[in-house]
Amino acid sequence: MIKVEGLSKSFNDNKVLENVDLTIENGEIVSIIGPSGTGKTTLLRCINYLERPDKGKVTIDDLTVDADNPSKKDIHGLCLRSGMVFQSYNLFHNKTVLENVMEAQVIVKKRSRKEARERALEELKKVGMLDWKDHYPSQLSGGQQQRVAIARAISMDPSILLLDEPTSALDPELTKEVQQTIRNIAKDGMTMLIVTHEIEFARELCNRIVFMDEGHIVEQGTPKEIFSNPKEERTKKFIQFLFPQDYQIYI
Amino acid sequence: MIKDAFDLKFILDNLPKIIGALPVTISITLISLFFGWMLGLIFAFGKVSGPRWLREVLKLLTDILRGIPTVVLLYVVYFGLPQIVGSLTGASLDGWSKQTFVVIALALELGISSSEMFRSAYNSIRKEQIEAAWALGYTKIQRFLKVIVPQGLFVILPNLSSAVLSIIQATALVYTLGIYDILGKARQIDTNEAHVKTFEMYLAAALIYWALAGVVTVIFSQLEKRFGRGRKVVAA
Ligand SMILES: Nc1ncnc2c1ncn2[C@@H]1O[C@H](COP(=O)(O)OP(=O)(O)OP(=O)(O)O)[C@@H](O)[C@H]1O
Ligand SMILES: [Mg+2]
């Protein structure tokens, strides 16, 4: 379970997140949607303290970290309990695919090299990248890199996987293959929080949609509730913006 | 005395003697490199994340030391350090070998010049690479050893290589303190021959320096291959 309570974050005078509350149960797949610059990425980055929140608590499973006085160990604990998939993949460019998936298992999880290798091969197989294990990231397409990045994150057994627009840097063909990978992981019961602009994908994959605007969670509900029957005015506007014609026909 | 024609045999005969001084040149080089780069890392760390006053001090030190020729710095350290230490603490540095002062001077100079290199290498590492390690749960020291060092090393290898070469060259200054390194030895032989073999002996020294540089270059091109992995598309 993951819980965000009263989370606030400003960059200088720019209030990016204000008092955000969000709870995700185990096994849930939640998508955050919303206009550009509303703090979706920042919210994700506050969960593993890549961005340090000004105020608020983050809980993952048994660990609660308060932004008022977080210890290094607590912050590290959040990283151990979460995995992150970045928009720009962020594979280690000086390591092969296999090494990318193995290294953190060995040095962070303290698994033996043999164990880490077996697990890495298993995850690479799942994302369909086994044949590429000895290649370097620069030899792969963006979609392939992202699938490796997903394998890398999953191999650490996170309680929750945070994905920030995992397909936004990809063309439609590659987007499909990465989305298929995410679907497969969803079938394995992984808890996920996904920021995405791929509305169709979010609608079909997620249990819940969270609509954010200007640093607030405006509304959340099932895909049906949010897309077919939004309550808030701002949500309606955004949905209409996404589906300029009669948006109902898309649902 | 009349200068003879070019004497190849004299070079060949004396080359082993000069090569005998190689350990002096190499040990001064290696020890200076070790301390110089340690100092450089510490300075770089101060420049990247030290308090403001420290950064100002290091910047000033950098500007001062950069403007001083190596030979001048060498003499300032050699003659000045014992006086300064003596008047500050009353201790005597008489027991210190000449090599020690040479190493201090060279390490100081290298420390300052390499700190800039380390700093820009650190800045060249893409933020996303470090963030990926953070998200995976790497500790600070793991991020340093597993991401920053290997990725930064590739960036600075060409600089490291030229630093090694310039330290080797700078060690040739130590003959002025009466240390018998390669150049010192070559000059000594020439002096013993009443300076009729000056050209031959400098040529012999040049050959040895050139060979040394060749070895360094080969080593670094191997290292570049090793740490350049993933940079270029390697044939599948
Ligand atoms: N490191 C930073 N320093 C200063 N301002 C930042 C920083 N990161 C984000 N911001 C600002 O915070 C606001 C929210 O950014 P964020 O990236 O979280 O939005 P987003 O909802 O993910 O947008 P998008 O859909 O375009 O990715 C923006 O105004 C952005 O300029
Ligand atoms: Mg974003």
Q: Walk along chain A (251 residues) and give the pLDDT tens digit of each residue.
A: 999 999 999 999 999 999 999 999 999 999 999 999 999 999 999 999 999 999 999 999 999 999 999 999 999 999 999 999 999 999 999 999 999 999 999 999 999 999 999 999 999 999 999 999 999 999 999 999 999 999 999 999 999 999 999 999 899 989 999 999 999 999 999 999 999 999 899 999 999 999 999 999 999 999 999 998 899 999 999 988 887 665 455 54
For B236, which residue in chain A has the nearest alpha carbon?
A135
Q: What is the pLDDT of residue A31?
A: 97
Structure tokens at A234: 């701002």
CA–centroid distance, A64 to ligand 2, in Å, is 25
Residues of A in contact with B146 (CB under 8 A): 103, 107
CA–centroid distance, A216 to ligand 2, in Å, is 15
Q: How far is CA A11 from the centre of its chain?
A: 22
Among protein residues, the one with the nearest Cα to ligand 1's atom 16 is A39
Residue B49's SS3 state is helix
For chains A and B, CB pairs below 8 A equal 75
On whether the CB atoms of residues A11 and A131 are closer than 8 A, the answer is: no
Q: Which ligand is nearest to the CA of A15?
A: 1
- Binary contact (B146, A107; C-beta < 8 A): yes
Residue A194's SS3 state is strand
Q: How far apart are CA B133 and CA B147, in angstroms?
A: 8
Position in ligand 1 atom list of the atom nearest CA A195 = 22
CA–centroid distance, B190 to ligand 2, in Å, is 73
Position in ligand 1 atom list of the atom nearest CA A12 = 4
Position in ligand 1 atom list of the atom nearest CA A38 = 21
Residues of B in contact with A135 (CB under 8 A): 236
Placement of tokens 């045999």 in the chain: B9
Q: What is the pLDDT of residue B87?
A: 87
Tell me which fold the domain B22-174 belongs to: MetI-like fold (1.10.3720)
Q: What is the side-by-side order of every strand in the sheet holding A192-195? A: A82-85, A160-164, A192-195, A29-33, A208-213, A216-221
A162 sits in the region (left: phi over 0; alpha: psi -120 to 50; else beta) called beta
Position in ligand 1 atom list of the atom nearest CA A215 = 14
Structure tokens at B134: 């953070």
Q: What is the pLDDT of residue A251?
A: 47
Q: Does A71 touch chain B (CB under 8 A)?
A: no
Q: What is the pLDDT of residue A182?
A: 96
| Contacts for A207 with CB less than 8 Å, ≥ 6 apart | A28, A29, A30, A222
Structure tokens at A2: 């993951």
How do A208-213 and A29-33 pair as beta strands?
Answer: parallel
Q: What is the pLDDT of residue B4?
A: 65
Placement of tokens 């993951």 in the chain: A2
- Binary contact (B234, A48; C-beta < 8 A): no
Q: What is the pLDDT of residue B2?
A: 53
- Per-10-residue mean pLDDT for chain B, 236 residues long? 72 88 92 95 88 91 88 91 87 84 92 90 90 97 92 87 92 89 90 82 92 94 83 48
For residue A23, report the phi and psi dihedrals to the nearest 5 degrees: -125, 135
Q: What is the pLDDT of residue A246?
A: 54
DSSP single-letter state for residue A39: S
Q: Cα dist. B112→A37, B62, B81, B169 in Å? A: 43, 6, 18, 18
Q: Does A50 touch chain B (CB under 8 A)?
A: yes
CA–centroid distance, B174 to ligand 1, in Å, is 58
- Binary contact (B132, A92; C-beta < 8 A): yes
| Residue ranges in chain A assigned as alpha helix (H) | 40-47, 72-81, 97-107, 113-126, 142-154, 172-187, 199-205, 223-228, 233-242
**Domain chopping of chain A, boundaries:** 2-250
| Domain A2-250 belongs in CATH node 3.40.50.300 | yes
Instruction: State which residues have CB under 5 angstroms from ligand 2, the bound ion.
Output: A 41
Candidates A87, A88, A90, A155, partner chain B, best to mutate (most B CBs within 10 A): A90
Give the containing element (helix H, strand E) for A101: helix A97-107
On whether the CB atoms of residues B222 and B47 are closer than 8 A, the answer is: no
Q: What percent of chain A has pLDDT over 90?
A: 90
Residues of A in contact with B142 (CB under 8 A): 107-108
Q: Does A153 touch chain B (CB under 8 A)?
A: yes
- Residue B158 has a CB neighbour count (10 Å cut-off) of 13
